[in-house]
Structure 1
């Protein structure tokens, strides 16, 4: 990694190989007790869910500092720079749940149809830089005890590794995420448009789709989160982006597919699925509509010439 901190100090970067169990079970959980005043800023290539079980401190996230204390639960997306600072007189105890999305690919796709889960798991990390948003879920005493009990069960299963432990871990993770979504829903009722002007809302939507283009998120969920009707959202998005929501998402997906076709040897059907198309014929049609070539033709041209048109060029035509 070329990232560095002020003064030329290299950024600590944690890889999946360092922490996660294996490629077919990319998961790790561990409670940590922090006594020192600071945990150095770092990045990692996996999702990190954090539950503060004891103590208090500060979370430094992308240069911004937020207070954290017992009962806080939050999500750190991959490649986000963050660190911790202990501020209280007692150690800070946190549970770290680390995993790659493919661990729960089917389950996360199902949960992606639940709007509160989308807001907490995907949208909250994007909005932390604004003080207008609460960047973490503050659990009540009872919710915190329930969460700690469930996390201790996951730690036990994962540590013992008895017959069927992977299935048990995944089931309990889903129970945790569903509980968090329910608690989050009770706390958050304001649509994005209540605290942001319409232009900013549309900008957030575009950024959100760039980050989560492969998720089966429905436009209905997006316009509900924006606090708009379908007609109002459709009109305002097209006015902002110059294209419909579906056209924009397809361009993002096809743009990523182009990168994968140029840089990997994966089968076309696998690339289609990776960027969010479950129907290969739909992928082929959308790809040709945007690039003028079939995926196979695009890959052949890229291999022959070492370069090919990209969506930036397409959009300018």
Structure 2
């Protein structure tokens, strides 16, 4: 199985973005592979079978999905027609600041983080299918991204980032309008809570809300809150803060980053609030903690 590296696709690692249009030929098999960057796949036309996380899905025109790093997947082309797809490859650093603004949109969090996470649920269909005007608008954006990267005229980095952000906002809006508000539970309540705990551990710096996570589990907020505390012995906020402060401690011990930057990276927008939470958890302020570790 192949692992594709960022250096194979991004000529400028300070601007980790690449878009290509690829044709899956009739009957072609693209072996199982993974990559160390994020990939957004959009099906322009045709059909192919996509295998991912041990499950297979038939792709159609308008299908779009996001593959986070280290996810193995493969394709098999249809026997009677070719399939044309856009592959948008990028690393999260490309939109570091913009992602924080996008994460304020609940449906973006759902589509970009929760939807990929839910692939382990056999009842969850991992592709969003655009149609009508949404499909036309999105294809126009992709065509612009493709042209800008190929022509590389003055300011093309700015155009690419702007258009790509528009793509993310459009997808969030479409996802919000077409998602199933009542997911079919495929897990027991305990399995759902365990899955949410894993999600928080992976994305502790993202502003997930109780409403989002309870809806994900098909529970009311009071029910989710009670079951989460029964499972972890902590409230959702306490559990998340524990992970954030633990990561902040690691960064203070192993990097020379400013404390304000560390607070921001682990998910605290308010520096004074970070100081209060840190002191409550660790018993001393962040700077004193960092200095104490340097004494050894």
Q: TM-score scaled to structure 1, two decimals?
A: 0.82
Shift of 1:21: 4.5
CA–CA distance in structure 2, aligned partners of residues 193 and 201 of structure 1:
12
Match of 1:178 in 2: 169
CA–CA distance in structure 1, aligned partners of residues 150 and 142 of structure 2:
12
Match of 1:4 in 2: none
CA–CA distance in structure 2, aligned partners of residues 257 and 82 of structure 1:
33
1:20 correspondence with 2:27: no
CA–CA distance in structure 1, aligned partners of residues 122 and 82 of structure 2:
27
Unaligned runs of 5+ in 1: 1-10, 306-317
Structure 2 vs 1, CA of residues 129 and 230 (structure 1 numbering), >3 Å: closer, same or farther?
Answer: closer
1:208 correspondence with 2:190: no
Shift of 1:301: 5.5
Structure 2 vs 1, CA of residues 261 and 14 (structure 1 numbering), >3 Å: closer, same or farther?
Answer: farther
CA–CA distance in structure 2, aligned partners of residues 184 and 281 of structure 1:
35
CA–CA distance in structure 1, aligned partners of residues 165 and 122 of structure 2:
30
Shift of 1:168: 1.8
Secondary structure of 2:120's aligned partner: coil
Structure 2 vs 1, CA of residues 303 and 83 (structure 1 numbering), >3 Å: closer, same or farther?
Answer: farther
Structure 2 vs 1, CA of residues 104 and 80 (structure 1 numbering), >3 Å: closer, same or farther?
Answer: same
Question: Among residues 116, 119, 125, which one is paired with 1:128 in the alignment?
Answer: 119
RMSD of aligned alpha carbons? 2.6
1:47 correspondence with 2:15: no
Native 8 Å contact 2:18 2:88 kept in 1: yes
Secondary structure of 2:48's aligned partner: strand
1:98 correspondence with 2:89: yes
Q: TM-score scaled to structure 2, two decimals?
A: 0.87
CA–CA distance in structure 2, aligned partners of residues 297 and 66 of structure 1:
53
Instruction: Spell out, residue by residue over 1:191-216, the C-alpha distance to the aligned partner (whole angstroms, 9 max, x if none).
Output: 34755443233222212211221123
Shift of 1:125: 0.9
Native 8 Å contact 1:191 1:226 kept in 2: no
Native 8 Å contact 1:209 1:249 kept in 2: yes
Question: Among residues 26, 29, 37, which one is paired with 2:19 in the alignment?
Answer: 29
Instruction: Pick which of 111-120 and 286-295 moved more.
Output: 286-295
CA–CA distance in structure 1, aligned partners of residues 183 and 231 of structure 2:
16
Q: Pairwise mapping of residues 202-281 of structure 1 onto structure 2 (< 5 A)?
A: 202-281=193-272
Native 8 Å contact 1:58 1:66 kept in 2: yes
CA–CA distance in structure 1, aligned partners of residues 7 and 231 of structure 2:
41
CA–CA distance in structure 1, aligned partners of residues 284 and 4 of structure 2:
39
Native 8 Å contact 2:121 2:186 kept in 1: no
Match of 1:165 in 2: 156
Shift of 1:293: 4.9
CA–CA distance in structure 2, aligned partners of residues 235 and 228 of structure 1:
11
Match of 1:150 in 2: 141
CA–CA distance in structure 1, aligned partners of residues 3 and 134 of structure 2:
33
CA–CA distance in structure 1, aligned partners of residues 9 and 229 of structure 2:
43
Unaligned runs of 5+ in 2: none
